[in-house]
Amino acid sequence: MNIKRISNPRIVIIGGGFAGVSLAKVLSKQDVQVVLLDKHNYHNFQPLLYQVSTGGLEPDSIAYPIRKILQNYSNFQFRLANVLEIDPKNNKVITDIGLLKYDYLVIASGSETNYFGNTSIETNSMSMKTIPQALNLRSLILENFEEALLTSDLQERNALMNFVIVGAGPTGVELAGALAEIKKGILPKDYPDLDTRLAQINLVQSGNRILKEMSEEASKKAEAFLEKLGVNVWKNTRVSNYDGKVVTTNTDVVFETATMIWAAGVKGANIKGIEGADLVSRSNRIIVNEFNQLKTYSNIFAIGDVAQIETEATPYGYPMMAQPAIQQGKQLGHNLKRLLEGLPLEPFKYKDKGAMATVGRNKAVVDLPKYKFQGVFAWFVWMFVHLFFLIGFRNRMIVFVNWVYNYIRFDREARLIIRPFKKKLKSDE
């Protein structure tokens, strides 16, 4: 890998997401050699992926080069590498560009879509965890409209314009709201020859309320917002299969659709070599103690989505969200410093800063630890918070200008089929 061994301890971090980057920032001031490995050369701001899928933002505005994040840190090395396996007994990682020895290893590889073993859903549905996937979805949505315009088969046209989103967490809700706004604001202008009333947006949820991680107040209000936008919300409906044409559920509800978007599950993106029931949870997350340390290997740590800090208070770990990942990254940086100074480690304490989701223009729900509010003010808070956490001044400016433009013009100008998507072509993921 062309990385010289120096006398300082070597810390290898797998993953330049929220957790890996926040750890890297703390370690930048320490006497250690840090090697960050990621299979992408950019940090992906996942909370805004749905805006890329729906033509609201260009992908470049939510991605940021990892090398640029690290360029002022003299003790850092970055390698574009896919980590294939960890060999914990010999303190090395095996990647597609070679082997690397470590003194300390931090696994911050995030999460991946969980299809719960249903290969038919996995093959036929769209997911939205990466930028290539968001671009695939953008292409497919636009290609559907182009095809709908051409076909004379009404059943086919209906299926092309029928969108089914499975999972009514923040991702599903935000995507449904954005598609509803496309139906209302863009379709009539772009496709005057198409009966845009045929476009249906269905949000399917197995439980009895949407945004179940948020307050009841937020759930109810978000559902009311969605209904106002014309989204069909199907609660207590569990999707059982999708063959690429028909979505079946546990009730008598079926959908004929060319597009099912799966936002109903995530699991840890664990890496081969970390195995066994005492190290890996049922949701494929790495089980760690309150210091983010693995049980059997005291020089290996896991942070962020892939880590399950198992304590009495958190038997299933912290939610797979940006804040726990950022806070764990910072705390581990602090703890690694203490470890190298021979001091005892300090336990991770999560500061819950609340949760939020936007449904569309002027419509958002915000649950803060002390206050809950919805509507226009919540929408401004949502925008401010997302701009604040976006990495890079240029990205913030571009996103801000885009949002102002889209707001004033009721528009989404990134509705481009740059790279046509052929269904079942999953090689870009």
Ligand X SMILES: Cc1cc2nc3c(=O)[nH]c(=O)nc-3n(C[C@H](O)[C@H](O)[C@H](O)COP(=O)(O)OP(=O)(O)OC[C@H]3O[C@@H](n4cnc5c(N)ncnc54)[C@H](O)[C@@H]3O)c2cc1C
* Site residues, ligand X (CB under 6 A): 14-20, 37-40, 44, 46-47, 49-50, 82-83, 108-110, 128-129, 170-171, 269, 271, 304-305, 320-323, 325
77 or 171: CB nearest ligand X: 171
In a 3-state reduction of DSSP, which class is residue 234?
strand
382: its two tokens: 């949502």
Q: Which is nearer to ligand X, 196 or 367 (CB)?
A: 367
Would you say 10 or 129 has its CB closer to ligand X? 129
Q: Of 159 and 168, which has the nearer Cβ to ligand X?
A: 168
Calpha distance 97→99 (Å, rounded): 7
Question: What six digits make up the tokens of 34?
Answer: 């840090």
The whole-angstrom separation of Cα 368 and Cα 234 is 27
CB of 84 to ligand X, least distance (A): 7
Q: How far apart are CA 428 and CA 404, in angstroms?
A: 32
289 vs 323 by CB, closer to ligand X: 323
Question: In this structure, are residues 148 and 189 in contact, taking their beta carbons and an 8 Å threshold?
Answer: no
Min. distance of Cβ 170 from ligand X in angstroms? 5
Catalytic annotation, residues:
174
226 vs 201: CA distance, rounded Å: 10
Shortest distance in whole angstroms from residue 213 CB to ligand X: 10
Question: In angstroms, rounded to a whole number, what is the distance separating the alpha carbons of residues 91 and 298?
Answer: 11
> For 211, phi and psi rounded to 5 degrees?
45, 55
Is the alpha carbon torsion for 331, 309, 287, 214 positive or negative?
negative
As measured in angstroms, the least distance from the Cβ of 82 to ligand X is 5
Closest approach of Cβ 286 to ligand X, in Å? 11
Give the nearer residue to ligand X in terms of CB position, either 196 or 219: 219
CA–CA dist 157, 274 (Å, integer): 48
Nearest to 64 by CA among 113, 1, 21: 21
C-alpha span between 11 and 340 (Å, rounded): 11
Given a contact cutoff of 8 angstroms between Cβ atoms, the answer to whether 267 and 114 are in contact is yes
DSSP state of 192: T
For ligand X, the nearest residue by Cβ is 17
| Minimum CB–partner distance for residue 93 and ligand X (Å) | 9
Strands 10-14 vs 104-107: parallel, antiparallel or unpaired: parallel
Strands 42-44 and 63-65: antiparallel
